[in-house]
Amino acid sequence: MKTRLHRWTTWGLGTLLLSLASVVWAAGDLTPLRAQFQLSEEQVDYAATKLTVDRLIDPSTDDDAVHRELDAWERAVRGNVPQDPTARQVLDALLKTLYEPGPWNQGKPFSYDLTDPLGKNPKNKQLATYLATRKGNCVSMPILFLILGQRLGLPVALVTAPNHVMVKFADNAQQAWLNVEATAGGFKYDSSYERETGITEKAIENGLYLRPLLPREGMGVIASSLMEHYGATKDGDALMAVADLALGANPKDPVALVWKANAYYLQLQQRYVSKYPNATNIPPAQVADYQHLSRENLVWFSKAEALGWVQKTPEQEASYLQSIQREKTRRGQ
């Protein structure tokens, strides 16, 4: 039997610094997440989706405590909103409340966590951790901004770039979408993301990146942490299920496309490679399944690449880590 070349790639969002009652279920039971993805666009509650994902990763997540924190931060933002505000004034109040020191945040604003620049600690991507430490990454930071923006009635949406997540705000006054860089509490142009993250022209043409995502598409981005979790625990079946939920909402979700390819790899390893190091020893009745998994592993990488996805190079990661070191030096850390 001819062996095939299989592919696996690591994927972690959060690797770019750009200046109710509690419900308990068994880990791995995806029923609550499936219920989230069955909602209409108008019904999507980003906080509920994020807590569903966090609880599947960590069943000890305290929904009630997180909701109390969210309520408190919403009140703090509203305290900085002028009377009869425009949407832009509400947005500015949200930025001020989260990122500028003052009595509204006890002089302790939210900031990027320079101690975990590659997002290797999965707990740091959980909402409860970010609210407790006020140190975040490009997963927790834009998602909290999005959640509070939704609560405040702002026209906001999640957006992705390679290895990065941000928020877009629909500015009616300018008749344009503004990129809110939640890791730094400011604004950036699309061209900056294209340059800094290496977005290909093909990816832009195919709507892979920098596009304001519909609520259900944004849920897929939120679920990326769960895909990463199942990849780390080598649960190929659960990883496949979550990737399929995300792709059902957004067939061009680059993270889900890559994780689906990885899911086939894990299934292949679990079912065959671990049992039959020599592929010629695979029982004849199982050869078709082995070949199917081998083929699909490569097919799904090809689908991502055809849309413009490019795997991050070691040089890009090294450059990023150098930027983190410069930022640490600037802050005297």
DSSP string, 255-321: HHHHHHHHHHHHHHIIIIITT-SSGGGS-GGGHHHHHHHHHHHHHHHHHHHHHT--PPPHHHHHHHH
pLDDT > 60? residue 22: no
Q: Of 40-44, 70-74, 129-133, 276-280, give the lowest mean pLDDT range.
A: 276-280
**Residues 79-88, mean pLDDT to the nearest whole number:** 97
**Residues 190-196, mean pLDDT to the nearest whole number:** 93
Q: What is the pTM of this model?
A: 0.89
Per residue in 125-169, pLDDT (tens digit) is 999 999 999 999 999 999 999 999 999 999 999 999 999 999 999
- pLDDT number for residue 52: 98
pLDDT > 70? residue 326: no
Distance set, CA 299 to CA 34, 160, 241, 247, 273 (Å)? 25, 23, 17, 15, 19
Per residue in 281-309, pLDDT (tens digit) is 999 999 999 999 999 999 999 999 999 99
- pLDDT number for residue 3: 36
pLDDT > 50? residue 254: yes
How many Cβ atoms sit within 10 Å of the Cβ of residue 77? 22
pLDDT > 90? residue 1: no
Integer Cα distance of 181 and 160 in angstroms: 11
Are 148 and 74 within 8 A, CB to CB? Answer: yes
Q: Which residue has the tokens 């006054």?
A: 173
